[in-house]
Structure 1
Amino acid sequence: MDDPKSSHRSREATPFSPILNGEFPVEQLRDLLATLPDTATDAAEAVVTAFGSSIPVTVFHRHDLDWSALAGTESHADQTQLTALECAAGPLVPRAATVGNVAVVVDPAVPDDMVATHRTLLAQLCVWIDLTAQAHASTEEFAALDDEAEVMRTVAHQILSAQDLDQVLLNLTNQTLRMSESDICGVFLREGEELRMRSCAGHRVIDTARLRMKKGQGVAGLVFETGKVARIDSYLQDATISKDFMSLAEQEATRSALAAPLVVHGDLIGVLEVWRRRYSSFTDRDVRRLVALADLATIAIENGRLYDAQRATVEELDNTRISLERQLRLLNRSSTLQHSLIEIVLANSAVTSSVARTVGTELGCEVAIISATGEVEATFPRTFDTADLLDDVAGRNGVLPQRATKLVARDGRTIWAHPVIAAENQYGAVCLVGGNEDTEIMEVACGQAAMVCSLTQLQQRAASAARAEALDQLLWDLMEGTAEQRSAARSRTHQMGIRLRGFHRVVYGVLENTDNIAAQEGWTTSAADTLRRNVLNGARGCTTPAQLTLTSVRGNWIVALAPIKDRERARTLLDELNKIAAQCHPDLRITWGVSSARSDPAEYPAAFGEAKTAHAASRRLGTVSLYDELGIVRLLLGSSDNPDLQGFIKEVTEPLLQYDQQSDGSLLKTLRTFFDANCSQKDAAERLFVHPKTLAYRLELIRKLTNLDLSQHSDRMRADLALRLLQVTEAVSDIDGQSHPPSG
């Protein structure tokens, strides 16, 4: 601004007297041109004083696009007339002169010819005032540059002293906003092929702080595309920028904008942009300032990024150290606990209770090991009430968790549950409640306890599989082995706790349609084998009417030893086995054959043959499966070289012969006489010379001993044939005895 004191000194230095006769004070004005006023205002006032009141004049000065009065009679400038004067047009041309940014206008009362005579002098006055203004501006600019340098040093210190990138950007926007005399300032940083506003100050609309721009969009996008400074004097009317953000510019009342690129090593990393809401043009000085600030910003941003990267690296290393230390502690605790649990497995003692006690003692928590059926196998402490725990863990569906789970108990304590899985089968779950350790240690400990329980299950499973394989081999040795193999098998069964005492029947079955089912279901060979194993496991688990002593599957054959003597119980067993087959697959069909009851294991091969014969009858006749009930059919199904005559005869006659020998009875004679009398009880009683009731008693006794109902045609035919075959064999034996007398 102009100094009033300097203006006063200038007037004292040039004391001119006013022109009384109304003529131009040429000499005074020329003397005035030889002086050096301090400011343009001083020079203008000196000119007005030199003219005096007889020739009133006004001196105008233009700043940017607007004219203003420096000195004279007129206090307001007619912008239109002065603008026209610059183009040598308008009403002011006859009585004014203008050079550069200065115009001297003479009062309209002064004759135009007088003004025209001295127009050159007026122009010289304009040049003199304009040069004075430029000299003063240069002086001010030098002072301003010095001040600006000091300010830039301060700003640089504030910007560069910040280490955090966000703080750098905040300092940058605030200082740029102040130094550029703008209303809004924003810093865009590049993210791939897009600019994103990272820091903004002075905005009114929140969307301004969230701006994103691609190349060519808005002023920042223009800089992004060209890599050069962009200066916009009229934002809403400028044709060089896109229209993408015009509505936002209207909301912010933006009038002009200036943006500079942020470049590091030739790569654009962002844009620094300022906006003004007033009508004004950004000068070259403004551009230099913004470019200088952009250079500082580039250094500060790069430093901030390096600092952030370094800090992130340090934090990452520190977090890694903490994580490794935590993992080391966890590993040590886990290793100690695992060692204790493995010792439990190797000790082969009560695993579940030992695991619960070890884990509970080590971690200070309550432990429950639950079976797949929901039964509690072990707890620690023993007084641990698991009623609520089962509800919390199993939930409404009563299903144990199938993966590691963290729950909240009803009393607010934490429950860690881990399934016990072996060979893809879930055998239960391990649950830890409460505890004083970290979550990670509790999770690992729960998993280790479950793993030990799984190993135990696998161990038991392997032992069971080995035992089952050994029992399978024993069964086949008993059925098909040589005499030595059968003898060794009987010894091994005794060693393995298998009782072969008492009567047993051999059960022989054939899975008739497994191949068809596999083709229908699209099964692999493994799936078909699984079906056979399921049938085998179901048969082994059958306890009605009695549990099978030995059971084995070979291909589609299933063979078992059943400790059953009674026929009805044998039929009940077949019904249960058919139910098991239907449970394994509804379309599975198995045909069965059951031998007669044998008490001597040496007769098992013969019984196995009987079971096969009964099976053949079952396949041909449909319903008959018991060898005892085949009757004469077994003679037809037996081998043509060695029909089972003796077995057929003994089933009917041997019980009667034994009774007659022990009781001195005559049941066999009674049965023969009954058939000779055409099954007439009256005629048979007369032939035997006994009372009819006595005969009826004997026939009832025969039924009980042989299980033959003589009122049924099939049983009568079977008994009659057995008696006749007995007569034939006795006759043959008599003939053999005569032909081959005993030696000696």
Structure 2
Amino acid sequence: MSGFRIPGDEDDAVLAVLSLLAEEAPSSRLDTLLHRVRRSAPDPAELARVERAVQLAREVHAALDRRRQREAGFAALVDTARDLTFPYDLDTLLSVITRRVRLLLHFDMTYVALRGDDEDMVIHTSEGATTALNTGLRVESGSGLGHQALITGAPLWTADYLDDDSIKHTESLDRVVEAEGLHALMAVPLRCGDSAVGVLYGADRKVRHYTPDEIGLICSLADLAAVAIEKTGLLQQTQEQVAELELDGFRARSSLARLEQLAEAYGRIMSLLVAGADLTTVAKAAGDALDGTLQMRDPAGRVLAAGGEIPDLDEEAVARAVLATHARRGPVQADDHTWVAPVTAGTEDLGVVVLRPVAQLVGQDSSLLQTTAQAFAVHLLMQRSAAAAEGPVRDDLLDELLAVSSSAHPPHQTAQRARRLDVDLDQPHVLVVARPEGGEQGRAVVWASSYAYRMSGLKTVQGGCIVLLLPGTDASAAARAVVGELTPLLGHPVSVGAAGPDWGAASVARMHREALRCLDALTALDGVGCAASAQDLGFLGLLLSDDYDVDDFIDLAIGPVLAYDAERLTDLTRTLEAYFASGGSPTNAAEALHVHPNTVSRRLERITELLGTDWQKPGQALEVHLALRLLRTRAALRERGGSRAADEGR
């Protein structure tokens, strides 16, 4: 110290120590003073007094430093408490806590682990880390300092973690400690009341012995952090509950608005029904209400009314859904984009409604779909009532058309009567004769009246059989549709014969006779409960038909082979004849045709491609053979007729 002189006695030296202490001089100046006193060779007793004074001054210095550190810590603690009162989310709050603890206590690294659903803890946030191994690390129950701190409820620390055998080590924790180069480690439980939410960790990359003041300060910080974490959790829970309540309110308002829309839509649909609107108009209105395209189908799957086309409709999925919807008696999803609802009246199946909505049905939409289906059921029942009222008129007209003596009225009057019943006899029609095999006939007759009315056809009952004249060109399909609807309704088999198509009033009696012959043939062939037309009966149909359409039979049996020969000038037809003539022997057929057997084999393979793999089975083989005989006979007759005409010309 510049200009400093050592006093002459011990009191002067002690006063100098006190003077330096009052000036808050650094310890180095005390060391300089003591060194000079020792050089002046004072009395040993005096030197001891001066040394004691210097030691006491150093202790006062240390106490003052500790006091300043505590004051700084308390000030920082107050600042931290103020920071923790801000409305942070949990991740941000944990980041603030770890950063504050690291700065206040001069740790190299701090991190927080929170308790999970089980007994393990998960490290959520770290500060000062040099690797990414710690965040998200699961601390197994019972391992490390953290779990011991939770058990004891007090802070625990170690000067060198990896060398401390009193700690239960795990490979995952030791790997992180080693990767971060940590030695000293402290764990303080984050307690709020009687429960602990996690552990606050502080760590150093050197061996360090923590002081009581440092331990007390981090415990105070941990208590503040625990309260803040608890408060943040409650705040987040409250915010989530508020958000859920707001969402529930929005859903309730949306549901109420949707219910009002659905009630309005249902009222509009019922108004259309009461006003006598047709099914297509009702289907369009219902589709608009459900924001999609809607179809009404009968039990056979035919579309009775539609609000538009449904593209890419999976009919197999719809067929499966039809069974499920009648079993559940409510709407079901056919696929991700299509819904099906049953149209029923009591236990009677009247059909289904198929809906393709723009968006998924939610809330009460499925209820409106089912209500719409029931509205269709009401409409169909109203049609049935109208059909019952018109039934005698329709029966009389069809009875008149079936009479062998034809109509007692001129043809134009018959046509006018038919048009008044929405039947156009100038369009193609098919005739179906259905015979219920047991049970009461009343339900079948009621159904037939409704069905004929629905299909714009005519119905009557003759000889215990229901006779239907229906618009269409496919007698087989019409017969199957009648069986498909009537059999489930009656609960016992129904045999159906059909004929057609044909045009005009004069053709009805002929189709009736042919349909009856088909029905008799089914009975003779033990086909009770089946449906068939002359076309379905193969060569038997040729015999049963009034017009003996040989060309049509030949075309159905071997038409593809004839067309192939005509286009490519091949001999498949001759090969077939030779094959049948040789008793089904390709070798004998090859000899008759004067070709190699392999050639016959290749031709037979081509015939199989054209006629299908079943053409050699007995039933189809008989029809193919008969068609070949008819073809050959017709050609011979035409050739003989041409020769006779030539002779007469000469």
TM-score by length of 1: 0.48
1:450-461 paired onto structure 2 within 5 Å: 451-453=371-373, 456-457=376-377
Are residue 352 (structure 1) and residue 290 (structure 2) matched?
A: no
- Equivalent position of 2:523 in the other structure: 574
- Equivalent in 420, 432, 442 of residue 341 of structure 2: 420
* Secondary structure at 1:255 match in 2: coil
Give, as a single letter, the amino acid of the residue that structure 2 aligns with 1:165: L
* Secondary structure at 1:241 match in 2: coil
Are residue 301 (structure 1) and residue 226 (structure 2) matched?
A: no
Shift of 1:445: 4.9
Give, as a single letter, the amino acid of the residue that structure 1 aligns with 2:4: E
Q: Does the 8 A contact of 2:296 with 2:353 survive in 1?
A: yes
1:698-713 paired onto structure 2 within 5 Å: none
Give, as a single letter, the amino acid of the residue that structure 2 aligns with 1:12: F
* Structure 2 CA distance for aligned equivalents of residues 566 and 396 of structure 1: 31
- Equivalent position of 2:169 in the other structure: 243
Are residue 206 (structure 1) and residue 206 (structure 2) matched?
A: no
- Equivalent in 317, 322, 334 of residue 250 of structure 2: 322
* Structure 2 CA distance for aligned equivalents of residues 369 and 581 of structure 1: 27
- Equivalent position of 2:333 in the other structure: 404
1:559-570 paired onto structure 2 within 5 Å: none
Are residue 157 (structure 1) and residue 82 (structure 2) matched?
A: yes
Q: Does the 8 A contact of 1:160 with 1:300 survive in 2?
A: yes
* Structure 2 CA distance for aligned equivalents of residues 569 and 196 of structure 1: 82
Shift of 1:210: 1.2
Shift of 1:267: 1.7
Are residue 14 (structure 1) and residue 6 (structure 2) matched?
A: yes
Shift of 1:251: 0.5
1:60-459 paired onto structure 2 within 5 Å: 127-192=52-117, 193-244=119-170, 245-344=173-272, 349=276, 352-360=279-287, 367-369=294-296, 376-380=303-307, 386=309, 389-390=310-311, 392-394=312-314, 403-404=332-333, 417-422=338-343, 427-432=351-356, 439=359, 445=365, 448-449=368-369, 451-453=371-373, 456-457=376-377
* Structure 2 CA distance for aligned equivalents of residues 211 and 14 of structure 1: 64
- Equivalent in 27, 31, 54 of residue 40 of structure 1: 27
* Structure 2 CA distance for aligned equivalents of residues 137 and 231 of structure 1: 24
* Secondary structure at 1:147 match in 2: helix
Shift of 1:195: 2.0
Q: Does the 8 A contact of 2:255 with 2:363 survive in 1?
A: no
Any gaps of 5 or more consecutive residues in structure 1?
1-7, 17-26, 56-113, 408-415, 477-496, 508-529, 547-562, 584-744
Q: Does the 8 A contact of 1:216 with 1:241 survive in 2?
A: no
Shift of 1:152: 1.5
* Structure 1 CA distance for aligned equivalents of residues 263 and 273 of structure 2: 15
Shift of 1:123: 6.4
1:92-136 deviations in Å (ceiling 9; x for gaps): xxxxxxxxxxxxxxxxxxxxxx9xx95x87766654433222100
Q: Does the 8 A contact of 1:173 with 1:199 survive in 2?
A: yes
1:295-694 paired onto structure 2 within 5 Å: 295-344=223-272, 349=276, 352-360=279-287, 367-369=294-296, 376-380=303-307, 386=309, 389-390=310-311, 392-394=312-314, 403-404=332-333, 417-422=338-343, 427-432=351-356, 439=359, 445=365, 448-449=368-369, 451-453=371-373, 456-457=376-377, 472-473=439-440, 499=460, 504=463, 539-540=493-494, 542-544=496-498, 571-575=520-524, 578=527, 580=529
Indicate the percent of aligned positions where both proteins have the same amino acid.
17
Q: Does the 8 A contact of 1:200 with 1:209 survive in 2?
A: yes
* Structure 2 CA distance for aligned equivalents of residues 475 and 338 of structure 1: 34
Distance 1:475 1:289, change over 3 A: closer
* Secondary structure at 2:216 match in 1: helix
* Structure 2 CA distance for aligned equivalents of residues 475 and 164 of structure 1: 76
* Structure 1 CA distance for aligned equivalents of residues 492 and 206 of structure 2: 93
* Structure 2 CA distance for aligned equivalents of residues 452 and 233 of structure 1: 79
* Structure 2 CA distance for aligned equivalents of residues 14 and 569 of structure 1: 145
1:434-466 deviations in Å (ceiling 9; x for gaps): 5xxxx467885576345423563588599999x
Distance 1:336 1:260, change over 3 A: same
RMSD: 4.9
Q: Does the 8 A contact of 1:368 with 1:378 survive in 2?
A: yes
* Structure 2 CA distance for aligned equivalents of residues 394 and 574 of structure 1: 37
* Structure exhibiting the larger radius of gyration computed from Cα positions: 1
Distance 1:567 1:287, change over 3 A: closer
Distance 1:417 1:370, change over 3 A: farther
* Structure 2 CA distance for aligned equivalents of residues 152 and 362 of structure 1: 65
Give, as a single letter, the amino acid of the residue that structure 1 aligns with 2:163: Q
Distance 1:333 1:125, change over 3 A: same
Q: Does the 8 A contact of 1:422 with 1:458 survive in 2?
A: no
* Structure 2 CA distance for aligned equivalents of residues 459 and 363 of structure 1: 19
Q: Does the 8 A contact of 1:338 with 1:448 survive in 2?
A: yes
Any gaps of 5 or more consecutive residues in structure 2?
323-331, 389-434, 444-457, 467-483, 501-511, 533-650
1:146-191 deviations in Å (ceiling 9; x for gaps): 2222222111111122343333222111111111111211122223
Q: Does the 8 A contact of 2:342 with 2:352 survive in 1?
A: yes
Q: Does the 8 A contact of 1:230 with 1:258 survive in 2?
A: yes
* Structure 2 CA distance for aligned equivalents of residues 418 and 308 of structure 1: 41
- Equivalent position of 1:703 in the other structure: none
Shift of 1:582: 12
Q: Does the 8 A contact of 2:496 with 2:519 survive in 1?
A: no
Distance 1:432 1:397, change over 3 A: closer
Shift of 1:201: 1.6
* Structure 2 CA distance for aligned equivalents of residues 498 and 167 of structure 1: 82
Give, as a single letter, the amino acid of the residue that structure 1 aligns with 2:523: L
Distance 1:194 1:426, change over 3 A: farther
Distance 1:571 1:50, change over 3 A: same
Shift of 1:255: 0.7
Distance 1:266 1:204, change over 3 A: same
1:505-539 deviations in Å (ceiling 9; x for gaps): 899xxxxxxxxxxxxxxxxxxxxxx9x96696674
* Structure 1 CA distance for aligned equivalents of residues 459 and 155 of structure 2: 99
Deviates more, 1:188-197 or 1:148-157: 188-197
TM-score by length of 2: 0.55
